[in-house]
Structure 1
Amino acid sequence: MDTAALERFEAGRNRLASLAYRLLGSAADAEDAVQDTFLRWQAADPDHIAAPEAWLTKVVTNLCLDRLRSAQARHERAAGDRLPEPLLEGDPMLGPADTVEQRETVSLAVLTLMERLAPIERAAYVLREAFSYRHAEIAAILDISESASQQHVHRARRRIAAGRRGGGEVDPASARRVVEEFLAAAASGRTERLVAMLTADATAVSDGYGLAKRLLRYTTPERIASLVRAGLTPTPAKRRLAGGSPTLHIAPVNGSPSVLAVVDDRVVGIVVLDVRDGKVASLYGIATRDRLTRLDACWRHRAPDAPAVTAW
């Protein structure tokens, strides 16, 4: 491969990775898909590819669809045994964030809802909402008709809107205040304070510190408040599991305010909060080690704010 062809691919690598991440919900899987795309680009003759960006987009999209349709992927999605991989603000894999729609497609809430879509619906939705492709372009990428593209996007929008609990965007200062108040309520020992900060239809999903075989789900404010209160109450067993006594930091993850538990500059767990009208509509707790690998690496390369809780 000549230098020009290599540079052409590298110029679009982050965009391809961002697309693959939205389709697969996993940074590691997205990187694999991009690498497979590079191998195909390497084997092709770039001089005979009229529109390189469209060609690369089609290849990476269809590689992701193959993964989503595989027997293993179908089993994982049906079993509900994992949450989307979280990414720290500033990670280039989060991709375009110029519009509300682009930012929404990378939130944990929407990525989780996209797991319920058929692979073709997910691809059409991501190409349209996150990358602003026209239906004619989506049809060419997915080898479907333009009307089919419109139908897939319409169904995906409807299903995601029906399951969405968050209430639009919250400015960073307001989001931080909500998280600070939430942490204070959890530390107060008064469960009723936590209940008051949750919406009536709040939900919580946890991977059980990475030890549970399936995701743990909670659907009433009282149960969620008890879960949060117990989870944020330090014990010797929890400190052993974390590898020490964490400090708690507030930082945006996938565009949402989040609490990061950090031990010796290593992120050992996070809670992502989806906020609606000043209250918490949903929480996602992740401590599975391999789901935090990329986020942890990004954390080590940034200068974090002072911790919100210095001794847990």
Structure 2
Amino acid sequence: MEPQDVLAARFEGRRPHLRAVAYRMLGSLTDAEDAVQEAWLRLARADVDGIDNLEGWLTTVVGRVCLDMLRVRKTRREEPMEDRLPDPVVSREDVTDPEQQALLADSVGSALLVVLASLTPAERLAFVLHDLFGLPFEQIAPIVDRTPVAAKKLASRARQRVRGATPIPDPDLVGQRRVVDAFLAAARGGDLDALLAILDPDVVLRVDRGTLADGMRTIRGVRAVAGLAATFQRMAIAAVTHPVLVNGTAGLVNTIDSRPISIMSFTVAGGRIAAIDILSDADRLARVDLTHVGL
């Protein structure tokens, strides 16, 4: 048997990868940590001599744990994740954090996580493990109690929904920031024409105020979103805006008296804003670690 401290060190080396898998599956940083911890407990009880590929074994275990957690959510119907925005991962634009890099590899933006939350648990697992992490369907099939062919079909259905609902963000972060700055300038000036020019015709705005308020509100279409110009103007004038990356794309943390009042994530595609996600749930904002971005 491998010494426990050696096994623990091997596990810690794979923790960032496992957190990334669990975060994509669950959309919750707290739940992702719980899933990874459960994987460690199972590893500590396992016969590691029979494990040839530790990372593959752990990825499979985390997948099983996340699938069970998703199914419990569906059964209990307690605050479904599709009715809330995923936990934001906030980072500075000028600093590269290796752990956050691993968490956000494959450009997993907020808009993608929202779509993933609308999939069935089995579809989400098949898509995440295969399309985002490259696991073969032969490994995925036993987790979802399907044949490899059926698992492939699950991933295919999920892929079609993701492609149809998620715009691909422009890869240039400098360009993304330029567009977000133009949005801010238009908002501060209450310039409706400028907002119409910077927003994609099919733009989607999601605002999550928390279950104690009115939950998540979704507004679609450039006219409807630009029609909130007065609201954008009040927010832009009242708050101090801090440019950050949110889930790897251009975003903002808005504060009043140094207290975060919202975190905004923008999906910029084709030089226009295709999606805006705003988390303004006070309870969830209080749990977001912003110390590493100087807030």
Q: TM-score band (shorter)?
A: 0.7 to 0.9
Runs of at least 4 residues off by over 6 Å:
none
Residue of 262, 265, 273 corresponding to 1:269: 262
The answer to whether the Cα contact below 8 Å between 1:20 and 1:60 also exists between their aligned partners in 2 is yes
CA distance in 2, matches of 1:91, 1:212: 36
Give the total of aligned pairs. 288
Return the letter of the residue paired with 2:126: A
Q: Which shows bigger deviation, 111-120 or 178-187?
A: 111-120
1:99-136: per-residue Cα shift (whole Å, max 9, x none)? xxx22xx2111111111211111111111122122222
- What residue number does 1:309 align with? none
The answer to whether the Cα contact below 8 Å between 2:208 and 2:281 also exists between their aligned partners in 1 is yes
SS of 1:195's equivalent? helix
Q: Give the equivalent residue in structure 2 for 1:6.
A: 8
Deviation at 1:46, TM superposition (A): 2.2
Residue in 2 that maps onto 1:308: none
Q: Under a length normalisation based on structure 2, what TM-score does the superposition of the two structures give? A: 0.86
- Offset of 1:72 from its aligned partner? 5.3
The answer for the alignment partner of 2:196 in structure 1 is 195
Q: Does structure 1 residue 95 correspond to structure 2 residue 102?
A: yes
Task: Give the partner amino acid of 2:218.
Answer: R
What residue in structure 1 maps to residue 94 of structure 2? none
Tell me how far apart the structure 1 counterparts of residues 82 and 132 of structure 2 sit (CA, whole Å). 24
Q: Residues 1-312 of structure 1 correspond to what in structure 2 (within 5 A)? A: 2-71=4-73, 75-76=77-78, 80-89=82-91, 90=97, 92=99, 95=102, 102-103=106-107, 106-164=108-166, 166-208=167-209, 212-227=213-228, 229-234=230-235, 246-263=239-256, 267-292=260-285, 296-297=288-289, 299-302=290-293
Distance of 2:171 and 2:244 partners within structure 1: 14
Q: CA deviation at 1:69?
A: 0.6
Deviation of 1:43 after TM superposition, in Å, equals 2.2
Q: 1:250 to 1:276 in 2, by over 3 A?
A: same
Contact 1:266–1:300 (CA under 8 A) maintained in structure 2: no
**Identity rate, percent:** 34
Judging changes above 3 Å, is the alpha-carbon distance between structure 1 residues 209 and 138 closer, same or farther for their aligned structure 2 residues? Answer: closer
Unaligned runs of 5+ in 2: 92-96
CA contact (8 A) 1:207 1:215 kept: yes
Distance across 2 between alignment mates of 1:228 and 1:74: 39
The two structures, once aligned, show a CA RMSD in angstroms of 2.7
- Measured in 2, the distance between the counterparts of 1:32 and 1:254 equals 20
Q: Tell me how far 1:301 sits from its aligned partner.
A: 2.1
CA contact (8 A) 2:264 2:277 kept: yes
Secondary structure of 1:233 counterpart: helix
Displacement, 1:138?
2.6
- Which stretch shows the higher mean deviation, 15-24 or 64-73? 64-73
Counterpart in the other structure of 1:242 = none
Displacement of 1:182 after TM fit? 0.3
User: In the alignment, is the contact (CA less than 8 A) between 1:275 and 1:282 conserved in 2?
Assistant: yes
Q: Cα offset for 1:152?
A: 1.4
Q: 1:293 to 1:45 in 2, by over 3 A?
A: farther
The 2-side partners of 1:268 and 1:190 are apart by: 23
Secondary structure of the corresponding residue to residue 228 of structure 2: helix
User: 1:79, 1:214 within 8 Å by CA — same for their partners in 2?
Assistant: no
Unaligned runs of 5+ in 1: 240-244, 305-312
Instruction: For 1:209 and 1:55, locate their aligned partners in 2 and report how far apart those are by CA, in whole Å.
Output: 37
User: What TM-score results when the alignment is normalised by the length of structure 1?
Assistant: 0.82
